Structure 1
Amino acid sequence: MADIAVFDVDGTLVDTNYQHALAWFRAFRRYDLTLPVWRLHRAIGMGGDQLVEAVAGGDVEKEHGDDLRAAWEEEYAPLLPEVQPFEGARRVLEDASEAGQRVVLASSGKAEHVEHYLDLLDARPLAAAWTTSDDVERTKPEPDLVAVAIEKVGGGTAVMVGDSVWDCEAARRLGVACYAVRTGGFSVDELRDAGARDVFDDLNDLRDGLRRSR
């Protein structure tokens, strides 16, 4: 069994993906750019450093990238109080800790957002470490964030839990097994094709599956 359990946060432990998509939609509208919300939602899980070019192209990134990221942060702030943990979120962290794994929360979110999620999940007593966007220059699907998460607890054999194809791809690039939950809105086939070893409907389903495998 892996001795490190790396958990993605947004969309995996806390239900934020649709708030993020709406915040990005509003940020782009500030610059008279109207992107379909479904397309923005499909990109959630990437960090903001990757998302703008992915959904709007290189020219928009060059001209407005930093301003769009600042606008997204302003638009997301009033939505933050609406965010709630997924059912079973804290319990799955407890399961990993009780199994002797070092728990790391791997987020590319802003530090203040991650701090809010830690409080929301009451995760500080369970997490050996966590990451924020300040820890890496390149976010998912690049593997840097997963690598830093593992390094923060001294290295070892890790497994990752995520909700997006970007989580699965980042883990695959690093050679880390990834288990996916469908709470990010991606299909089973998409997650498997991106590298997920197994896919579960939600965190409770994941807990049941891991208990059976043990």
Structure 2
Amino acid sequence: MTNLVVFDVDGTLVDTNYHHALAWYRAFRRYDLTPPIWRLHRAIGMGGDHLVEAVAGSDVERDLGDRLRTAWEDEYAPLLPEVMPFEGAHRLLESVAESGRRVVLASSGKADHVEHYLDLLDARSIAQDWTTADDVERTKPEPDLIAVAIEKVGGGDALMVGDSVWDCEAAKRLDVPSYAVRTGGFSVDELREAGARAVFDDLRELREELVAPSRA
């Protein structure tokens, strides 16, 4: 049984992916760029340091990358009060901790966003630690964020839980097994192909798996 569960936050515990896609769309529109929102959604889960180039190409990243990331932050701020936790998110974290495993949250979000999510999830007394964008220079699909999260709690036999192919790919690069939930909008086949050991429709199904000692 794993003794540490690393949880992604955005799109896994809190329902933010479509808010992020809309904020990125509005950020690009400030510079008369119109990427399809479906393409933006497909990139959510990778960090902003990767997203601009992935969506709009290396020239846009070179010329506008930092300005687009600043614009995204401006556009996301008014949407933050609309963000809600997924049903069962707090209970999931609580159940994993009660099973004797350590909980760490691996977020590449801005520090103030992560603080807000911790309050929404009532997670401060459950998670042993958490990360923010300030902890790494490279975000997912690079594995740095997961590695830092594991290091923050002293290491251990870890399992990653996420919602995107980028979460699963990052975990695979560290040889950390991953579970995925479909809350990010990716298909079962995509998540499996990216490395997920198992895929769940929602957090209730995931909790039933994680709290079964013979399975986790």
What interval of TM-score do these two structures reach, taking the shorter chain for normalisation? over 0.9
TM-score of the pair, normalised by structure 2 = 0.98
Alignment of 1:42-191 (within 5 A): 42-191=42-191
Q: Percent identity?
A: 78
1:51 match: secondary structure: helix
**Is 2:9–2:106's contact at 8 Å kept on the other side of the alignment?**
yes
AA aligned opposite 1:107: S
Q: CA deviation at 1:41?
A: 0.3
| Bigger Cα displacement from structure 2, 201-210 vs 149-158 | 201-210
Q: CA deviation at 1:207?
A: 1.2
Measured in 1, the distance between the counterparts of 2:211 and 2:12 equals: 19
Measured in 1, the distance between the counterparts of 2:185 and 2:205 equals: 16
Q: CA deviation at 1:209?
A: 2.5
Runs of 4+ that moved beyond 4 A: none
How many residue pairs get matched? 214
1:13 match: secondary structure: coil
> Which structure 1 segments of 5+ residues have no match?
none
**Is 2:96–2:211's contact at 8 Å kept on the other side of the alignment?**
no
Write out per-residue CA displacement over residues 56-83 of structure 1, whole angstroms, 9 at most, x where no aligned residue.
0000000000000000000000000000
Alignment RMSD, CA only? 0.8
What's 1:193 paired with? 193
Measured in 2, the distance between the counterparts of 1:202 and 1:159 equals: 17
1:46 match: secondary structure: coil
Measured in 2, the distance between the counterparts of 1:142 and 1:160 equals: 14
AA aligned opposite 1:153: V
1:6 match: secondary structure: strand
Write out per-residue CA displacement over residues 107-146 of structure 1, whole angstroms, 9 at most, x where no aligned residue.
0000000000000000000010000000000000000000
TM-score of the pair, normalised by structure 1 = 0.99
Q: CA deviation at 1:208?
A: 1.9
Measured in 2, the distance between the counterparts of 1:146 and 1:11 equals: 16
Write out per-residue CA displacement over residues 67-106 of structure 1, whole angstroms, 9 at most, x where no aligned residue.
0000000000000000000011011101110111111000
1:5 match: secondary structure: strand
What's 2:41 paired with? 41
1:2 partnered with 2:5? no
